[in-house]
Amino acid sequence: MGLVAALVRSSFLVHAVYAQAARDDGLTPQQGQLLCVLMAQPYGMGELCSMLGLAKSSLTGLVDRTENNGLVRREPDPRDSRAVRVALTPRGARLADRFYTEACRRIEELPAGLDPAERDTLAGLLGRIVLDHKVPAVFAEPDQASPGG
């Protein structure tokens, strides 16, 4: 298989697994992403836009829907009365944790046919590609999932 085909097809595979994990937790992939990003800390709408690569108007809707589901909350920014901080609700935090853990587990299973050394090689090569390009930090590294403990 050529490198292009391998990249494209593996990317579809990962996306499908990710989407299914979200679905199993009653989330859309986008809502899952939002929760994962907010696991680290609350963010303003503008920050979320650039992190998720969305237009402002798209994000408003996404946050609206996720808020209606009781998973996130808009809090006023004490420093700027126009601005808003989007934060996880307790329920959202629990669900984010669950979803994140499970999504990682499933994706980690994908390279089951590779031995540890090969996994390492793969992680290294993909990591270099990712770092060579501007990729929104949509999915924290497992090791950094809970920064600050």
Distance (Å, whole) CA 86 – CA 33: 13
**Cβ at position 57, least distance to DNA in Å:** 3
Site string for a copy of itself, 105-144 (x = CB under 8 A): --xx-xxxxx---xxxxxx-xxxxxxxxx-xxxxxxxxx-
Question: How far apart are the C-alpha atoms of 100 and 62, rounded to whole Å?
Answer: 18
Interface with a copy of itself, residue 104, by CB under 8 A: yes
Sheet holding 80-88, edge to edge: 43-44, 80-88, 72-77
Q: Report in angstroms how near the CB of residue 22 gets to DNA at its nearest.
A: 9
CA–CA dist 6, 22 (Å, integer): 24
The single-letter code of the amino acid at 63 is: V
1 lies in the site for DNA, by CB under 7 A: no
Q: What are phi and psi of 76, to 5 degrees?
A: -65, 140
42 sits near DNA (criterion: CB under 7 A): no
* Binding-site member from 17, 28, 87, 102 for DNA (CB under 7 A): 28
Kindly tell me the burial class for residue 34, based on how many C-beta atoms sit within 10 Å of its own C-beta (0-12, 13-18, 19 or more).
buried
CA dihedral 144, 147, 148, 149 (to 10 degrees): -70
Q: Which is nearer to DNA, 53 or 111 (CB)?
A: 53
**Could you say whether residue 59 binds DNA (CB under 7 A)?**
yes
Nearer to DNA, 65 or 98 (CB): 65
What does the alpha-carbon distance between residue 30 and residue 38 come to, in Å, rounded to a whole number?
12
Q: Should residue 146 be labelled a site residue for a copy of itself when binding is judged by CB under 8 A?
A: no
Where along the sequence are the contacts to DNA (CB under 7 A)?
Answer: 28-31, 44-46, 53-65, 74, 77, 80-85
Where along the sequence are the contacts to a copy of itself (CB under 8 A)?
Answer: 1-16, 18, 53, 104, 107-108, 110-114, 118-123, 125-133, 135-143
